[in-house]
Amino acid sequence: MLNSEICALFGIEYPIFQGGMAWIANANLAAAVSNAGGLGIISAMNADGDWLRAEIKKVKTLTSKPFGVNVMLMSPFVEEIARIVVEEQVPVVTTGAGNPAKFIPAWLAAKIKVVPVVPSVALAKLMERAGATAVIAEGGESGGHVGDLTTLVLVPQVSDAVQIPVIAAGGIGDGRGVAACLLLGASGVQLGTRFLLAKECEIHDNYKQKLLKASDIATIVTGKRLGHPVRALKTTMTRKFFAYEFDSNISNDELELLGAGALRKAVQEGSETEGCFMSGQIIGMLKKEESAKEIITSLMIEARAALGGATKWLK
Amino acid sequence: MVEEKIIEILAEYKGCPITEINIENSFEELGLDSLDTVEIVMSLEEAFNIELEITGELKTIKDVAAAITKLI
């Protein structure tokens, strides 16, 4: 349906990755996406090795297609996680929240395809030199941990700077977004927020309802003061956090404490007062729950239509 | 001298006088985050024609200068 080098490279049918969202992207969601022809990704988040190993074993029982694991480099268990993806022969590893250079040689030696998330041109170049298979250029429209640059400016600049394939992420909600990213130089896309609304995505019902009601301006970035900004829905909790960031009477330790465990409280408990409901800015456009297969099918049909219709601008 | 050259590159990156940068400073003290560090390392590699590995041990300008001196 779409001609992309990404498909042959990763052994997938469509050039669509599902974002490795902490506490959210488990074996069930990853398997649903992989079975639908995309690349499903399990988030290793801050979990220990036993949890990850169990999820990997589970995903292998649910799909025979390729899948990935997202390694969060700030995890206290990162060394163990880095070893387990090798032992379990995970086909693809994506990384977030840092520079994975020291792990790349061992992963490549194990024939793992390595795809770091990069928020800048310099890191993209460094990753290419370190042997990365591709990079994910993620703009700050995304949910969760965000960089400063937007997808519109990051994707073409990264695409010009590296020879390896670039996967665009951040702010992509439908096939128009997919088509736009391909025109900006990407060979594929990664979506997180859209898959939050997949039927196979096991987040608390309060979380889903909040997403379905959210508008274009429903998100806020908190945590800049701590050096790791996060985009999430505006709630009692995130507004309070945002206000505290400008309050010099609140210490950084107190701020960290306020944020600790907040994503889990959103995902598992749906807690309005203590939860941090991560979401990208495109959420205002997303109004229904669908299966992963329906999501991927509509993305592809719309992207084809958008790309085919692009000639109307030519004179 | 390696240290002077590093300070010159950092001052240019930050857009500040070289007198504001001390070799004992860490990147963090200079207000530089991890992405700035990646960019600076790339400038240093170009300037010294080397390849530097970014590790947690390179905290201060002095550490970076020592690492570069070993490579040239």
Element (H, E) at A226: none
Measure CA A118 to chain center: 12
- Give B66 to chain A, closest Cα distance, Å: 20
Does the CB of B72 have a partner CB in chain A at under 8 Å? no
Over range A192-201, report the average pLDDT: 97
Look at B38 and A102 and tell me if their CB atoms are within 8 Å. Answer: no
A38, two tokens: 């995309």
The CA distance from A135 to A104, in Å, is 13
- Confidence (pLDDT) at A140: 96
Of A43-47, A121-125, A194-198, B22-26, the one with minimum mean pLDDT is: B22-26
Asked whether A58 and A33 are in contact (CB, 8 A), the reply is no
Asked whether B36 and B13 are in contact (CB, 8 A), the reply is yes
B36 is catalytic: no
Does the CB of B42 have a partner CB in chain A at under 8 Å? yes
The CA distance from A171 to A152, in Å, is 9
Task: Report strand pairing: A230-233 vs A219-222.
Answer: antiparallel
The CA distance from A32 to A18, in Å, is 10
By CA distance, what is B45's nearest residue in A? A126
Does the CB of A101 have a partner CB in chain B at under 8 Å? yes
Backbone phi, psi, residue A167, to 5°: -110, 125
pLDDT exceeds 70 at position A16: yes
Over range A115-133, report the average pLDDT: 95
Look at A122 and B54 and tell me if their CB atoms are within 8 Å. Answer: no
Those of residues 214-233 in A touching chain B at CB distance below 8 A are: 227
Nearest to A122 among B42, B51, B53 (CB): B42
Find residue A115's DSSP bridge partners: A94
Asked whether A38 and A14 are in contact (CB, 8 A), the reply is yes
Look at A122 and B55 and tell me if their CB atoms are within 8 Å. Answer: no
Look at B38 and A98 and tell me if their CB atoms are within 8 Å. Answer: no
Over range A187-194, report the average pLDDT: 98
- Confidence (pLDDT) at B56: 66
Does the CB of A119 have a partner CB in chain B at under 8 Å? yes
- Confidence (pLDDT) at A56: 97
Over range A187-211, report the average pLDDT: 97
The CA distance from A248 to A61, in Å, is 51
Q: State the alpha helices, DSSP H only, in chain A.
A: 5-10, 27-35, 49-62, 78-87, 104-109, 121-129, 151-161, 175-183, 193-196, 205-213, 236-245, 252-259, 262-264, 292-309
* Number of CB atoms found within 10 A of residue A88's CB: 16
Share of chain A above pLDDT 90, in %: 88
Backbone phi, psi, residue A97, to 5°: 60, 45
In 3-state terms, chain A is what percent helix, strand and coil (to 5)?
Answer: 45, 15, 40
- Confidence (pLDDT) at A280: 98
- Give A132 to chain B, closest Cα distance, Å: 15
Look at A123 and B35 and tell me if their CB atoms are within 8 Å. Answer: yes
Look at A126 and B39 and tell me if their CB atoms are within 8 Å. Answer: no
- Confidence (pLDDT) at A10: 97
Asked whether A200 and A291 are in contact (CB, 8 A), the reply is yes
Q: For B41-63, how does the pLDDT look when each residue is reduced to its tens digit (9 = 90+)?
A: 888 888 888 888 776 677 888 88
A78, two tokens: 């990162």
pLDDT band at B72 (very low <50, low <70, confident <90, very high): confident
- Confidence (pLDDT) at A41: 98
Nearest to A119 among B35, B41, B51 (CB): B35
The CA distance from A93 to A82, in Å, is 9
Over range A284-294, report the average pLDDT: 97
pLDDT exceeds 70 at position A285: yes
- Give A123 to chain B, closest Cα distance, Å: 6
pLDDT exceeds 80 at position A59: yes
Task: Report strand pairing: A166-169 vs A135-138.
Answer: parallel
Asked whether A28 and A36 are in contact (CB, 8 A), the reply is no
* Number of CB atoms found within 10 A of residue A308's CB: 10
Q: For A233-264, how does the pLDDT look when each residue is reduced to its tens digit (9 = 90+)?
A: 999 899 999 999 999 999 999 988 888 888 99
Residue partners of A262: CB distance under 8 A and separation at least 6: A237, A274, A275, A276
Q: DSSP letter at A19? A: P
Catalytic residue among B1, B17, B24, B33: B33
Share of chain A above pLDDT 70, in %: 100
Task: Tell me which of A71 and B24 has the higher pLDDT.
Answer: A71
| Helix (H/G/I), strand (E/B), else coil: A18 | strand
The CA distance from B10 to B16, in Å, is 8
Asked whether A85 and A106 are in contact (CB, 8 A), the reply is no
Does the CB of B56 have a partner CB in chain A at under 8 Å? no
